[in-house]
Structure 1
Amino acid sequence: MAWLLPNRIIKVFLQLRLAIWITYFRNGSGSWIFNDIRKWFTLSLIFPPLLLLLDIPPNAFLPAFIPARIDHIKSVFAIELIASVGFLFGFLGSPLSYHSPDRDTVTISQHLLIIMYLAPRFNHAVIGPLRARQLSPKSETISVIYNSFYNIVLGFLIGAFLASPLVKATLSGLSLRFLFGFAIWALGFKGKLMHDEILLNIERRAISRAKDGEEGSEVKELHATIPQGVMFQYVSFPNLFCELVQWLGFAIVSSPFPFDLSSILSLINLANIVSVIQKPSYMFAPHLSPSYVLFMAEAAMKIPRALNGHKRYRERFGPSYPTERKAIIPFVV
């Protein structure tokens, strides 16, 4: 890490890292905390799809005195700040280290993984709002609350995992898996930016027309509002699809695929599912790394969101909306 930071900052970094580790994670207690959080957070991912299946409004559980919608830009910044705090606590504390991490160095591969994790967060929290500063969107309050919890937990898990001796040992060089995963991540990241820009341009044109008092025909207005171009010809939400691709690439880079075919097929049996849930946390899907938990969490959040949005698009535009478009995954769903 010395090639990136001056010695004084490195010294503060190491002192803070040691203080967190001694206070919370020494004598192996960190691994128990890590595995407990990893297990129960993974199991909680059933709830977003369940809410979609039961058609429960997102604000159904919100007390009446709390506003149903809040400023989107401020809420996004707060969520990503929370995620960064969770990540830094997990990375600095290094709960999976059984020995004092005060003399640990951060490898080039770890640096790259940190950038791959934080770059989309920075884009979401800072660059995105700057690009959308003309707009004033709102977010569902309950979604902001859930996303805050979701991001701080995942941030901690990812930070702890990237600081672990396992990642340091297995990512000592640039393997084919590393390069393949990085290419997928880069494609997803670029695709997300590109499709976000298309959506922002639609909003900007709508604001400009409203200011100019332009009145066009209904058909012209519909076709001007329906997103077009690149992957919009296949899915309604290519920006969300690209996010999934991005985090899949991150998962491929950081760890091997956690399941084999037999273990996946075994979950068809309800008794096997119950058995997996009842196992101690350290035995629960032992090869399931936080990076794949992140990918699963993104899928659990983004797919229901895309399905709901796709349904609204069809209701709003009717026959004018392209019938061949899927919601989020081309040719699938």
Structure 2
Amino acid sequence: MTNGSDSRTDSISQILPWTFFSPDHEKARFWVHYGLVIAGFILAVITYLSQAFKPAPYGKHDNTKSSKCRVPQRIAHVGADGVLGVIGFSLIYFLLGEHFDEAENIVMYCLFELHYLHRGLIHPLITRYSDKTVPLLIPLGTFLPNALYFFINADWIGSTHYYRGYYYDPRFIIGVILFVVGYIINRASDWKLRSLRTKSGEQGYQIPHGLLFNYISCPNYLGEMIEWGGWTILTWSLAGLVWWLFTCATFVARSRHNLQWYREHFIEYPHHRKALIPFLY
């Protein structure tokens, strides 16, 4: 009888390598978490539909420079990404988490923070922006979704118990590898874009060359999509999945608009380049 029960447990763990709050024991926490996951999925769909035909007024697509409701770029990025990604995520992870001290969870936490320590703090301080201000709606439109997705992901990895030895599981290994590969692509692409402006505050855009820029317009977006795809596999969670879907919803639309912008503004722009995925899209 015991052997049969152990066999069923093993087969379940092969599909779900974790235990999370049960609706029988932690009803409120369970339904709050998955209610927010559903909200995250709906928001991802809305985000894609809202940006599919008209790009967000950001960067090269910013046509609102005469608007009075503008804030400094650096402060906007630090507030929307750094404060929530580093401080907010850590508070949820440590204060609400019940398994934050387990090895697998610590690895996940460190990977997330690796991204946002750079994205939310270092990147805004070293980037040479073409415009020092940005419409207030841009950081607000980033802050609010981030608050949702960061909460459910911090809640998940802080409160989920992964079965012993999960770091030997293919999902853990593949997820970490994809995250690191995506991080390297994202960082290298951002550095290449930064190097196009040789002086701080230099205006105007240039055609990037080298690395994946020889094949697509937005390898920085591709790198981040690979990162969060790896995160989804690593955490094996719906929280990770809806965050990845939101990332895709943003970057799939934005990369196409960027490609169109480059083709409209540079006659010599390479015609063979795709928007986001080499040779395909």
> TM-score surpassing 0.5?
yes
TM-score by length of 2: 0.78
The residue identity in structure 1 corresponding to 2:228 is: W
**CA offset at residue 251 of structure 1?**
1.4
Does the Cα contact within 8 Å between 1:94 and 1:164 map onto a contact in 2? yes
Instruction: Give the one of 216, 220, 225 matched to 1:239.
Output: 220
Does the Cα contact within 8 Å between 2:179 and 2:231 map onto a contact in 1? yes
Secondary structure (helix, strand or coil) at the match of 1:139 reads: strand
Q: Which runs of 4+ in 1 moved over 6 A?
A: none
Distance 2:37 2:276 in 1: 27
The residue correspondences of 1:50-129 to structure 2 (distance < 5 A) are: 50-55=49-54, 58=57, 67-80=68-81, 81-92=83-94, 94=96, 101=98, 104=99, 106-129=101-124
Distance 2:249 2:225 in 1: 10
Q: In 2 relative to 1, CA 204–171 (structure 1 residues): closer, same or farther, beyond 3 Å? A: farther
**CA offset at residue 312 of structure 1?**
1.0
Does the Cα contact within 8 Å between 1:90 and 1:157 map onto a contact in 2? no
The residue identity in structure 2 corresponding to 1:177 is: R
Q: In 2 relative to 1, CA 127–315 (structure 1 residues): closer, same or farther, beyond 3 Å? A: same
Instruction: Give the one of 214, 239, 242 matched to 1:290.
Output: 239
Q: In 2 relative to 1, CA 56–136 (structure 1 residues): closer, same or farther, beyond 3 Å? A: closer
Distance 1:76 1:105 in 2: 27
Paired positions, count: 249
The residue identity in structure 1 corresponding to 2:153 is: I
User: Is 1:328 aligned with 2:276?
Assistant: yes
Distance 1:189 1:56 in 2: 25
**CA offset at residue 53 of structure 1?**
3.7
User: Is 1:157 aligned with 2:152?
Assistant: yes
Structure of greater Rg: 1
Aligned Cα RMSD in Å? 2.8
Q: In 2 relative to 1, CA 171–69 (structure 1 residues): closer, same or farther, beyond 3 Å? A: farther
Matched with 2:255 is 306
Distance 1:253 1:42 in 2: 19
User: Is 1:43 aligned with 2:45?
Assistant: no
Q: In 2 relative to 1, CA 51–158 (structure 1 residues): closer, same or farther, beyond 3 Å? A: same
Matched with 1:249 is 230
Out of 173-182 and 47-56, give the one that drifted further: 47-56
Secondary structure (helix, strand or coil) at the match of 2:198 reads: helix
TM-score by length of 1: 0.67
Distance 2:92 2:151 in 1: 4
The residue correspondences of 1:9-28 to structure 2 (distance < 5 A) are: 27-28=26-27
Does the Cα contact within 8 Å between 2:51 and 2:250 map onto a contact in 1? no
Does the Cα contact within 8 Å between 1:181 and 1:252 map onto a contact in 2? yes
User: Is 1:203 aligned with 2:197?
Assistant: yes
Does the Cα contact within 8 Å between 1:89 and 1:156 map onto a contact in 2? no
Secondary structure (helix, strand or coil) at the match of 1:70 reads: strand
**CA offset at residue 86 of structure 1?**
4.2
The residue identity in structure 1 corresponding to 2:36 is: I
> Unaligned stretches of 5+ in structure 1?
1-25, 60-64, 96-100, 211-220, 256-287
Does the Cα contact within 8 Å between 2:41 and 2:242 map onto a contact in 1? yes
Matched with 2:33 is 34
Does the Cα contact within 8 Å between 2:100 and 2:159 map onto a contact in 1? no
**CA offset at residue 140 of structure 1?**
3.6
Matched with 2:8 is none
Does the Cα contact within 8 Å between 2:128 and 2:201 map onto a contact in 1? no
Distance 1:83 1:249 in 2: 18
**CA offset at residue 207 of structure 1?**
5.7
The sequence identity of aligned pairs, in percent, is 18
Distance 1:126 1:114 in 2: 17
Secondary structure (helix, strand or coil) at the match of 1:46 reads: helix
**CA offset at residue 90 of structure 1?**
3.5
Q: In 2 relative to 1, CA 237–137 (structure 1 residues): closer, same or farther, beyond 3 Å? A: farther
Q: In 2 relative to 1, CA 57–248 (structure 1 residues): closer, same or farther, beyond 3 Å? A: closer
Does the Cα contact within 8 Å between 1:161 and 1:289 map onto a contact in 2? no
Distance 1:171 1:42 in 2: 31
Matched with 1:12 is none
